[in-house]
């Protein structure tokens, strides 16, 4: 498996996304840590939102990104914690499948932008950007779990 695919779903630079998100209750996902700007649920919803946008661009649906940063976070959603977690993890699996197809990685995709000129990048570069984005927010999620006292899962192998 390529390192790019592993970085999306497995243990690469951090614990696997599935391990980071396991064992979080619905209540903990919505609990706000002191002075934290977002909940775990909001962080994961945000990752799922941008991940789907990236996957849409890669698969030929160049829909525009949000006009403002606030649109990339949930306002009123009916998705349960389990649903949003599954949606995010399903997206990481889909992205990893694309990363395994070396022939498609150099194709160009259009990335519409409300705030500036449209961007074009390769599928590879879009997936690298997705890995970086997910890693940033997964790190925030680990920190939120630590602040809420619900890290680490017993079998994750990670205690930091």
What CATH number is attached to the domain comprising 124?
Answer: 1.20.120.450
In which band, very low, low, confident or very high, does the pLDDT at 73 lie, cut at 50, 70 and 90?
confident
Q: How many structural domains are present in the chain?
A: 1
In this model, does residue 159 exceed pLDDT 80?
Answer: no
At 156, the pLDDT band (50, 70, 90 cuts) reads low
Query: What domain range is 119 assigned to?
Result: 3-148
- Residue located via tokens 């519409």: 112
Structure tokens at 144: 């939120």
Report pTM. Answer: 0.90
pLDDT reported for residue 158: 57
Answer whether residue 155 is part of any domain: no
CA 69 and chain centroid, separation: 16
């Amino acid at each position: 498996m390529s390192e790019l695919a592993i970085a999306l779903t497995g243990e690469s630079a951090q614990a696997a996304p599935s391990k980071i998100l396991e064992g979080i209750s619905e209540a903990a996902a919505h609990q706000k840590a002191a002075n934290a700007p977002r909940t775990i649920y909001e962080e994961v919803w945000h990752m799922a939102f941008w991940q789907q946008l990236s996957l849409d661009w890669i698969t030929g649906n160049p829909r525009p990104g949000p006009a403002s940063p606030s649109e990339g976070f949930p306002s009123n959603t009916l998705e349960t914690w389990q649903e949003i977690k599954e949606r995010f993890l399903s997206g990481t699996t889909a992205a990893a499948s694309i990363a395994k197809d070396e022939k498609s990685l150099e194709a160009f995709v259009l990335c519409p932008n409300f705030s500036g000129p449209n961007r074009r990048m390769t599928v590879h570069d879009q997936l690298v950007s997705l890995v970086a984005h997910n890693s940033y927010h997964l790190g925030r999620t680990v920190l939120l779990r630590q602040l809420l006292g619900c890290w680490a899962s017993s079998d994750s192998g990670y205690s930091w």
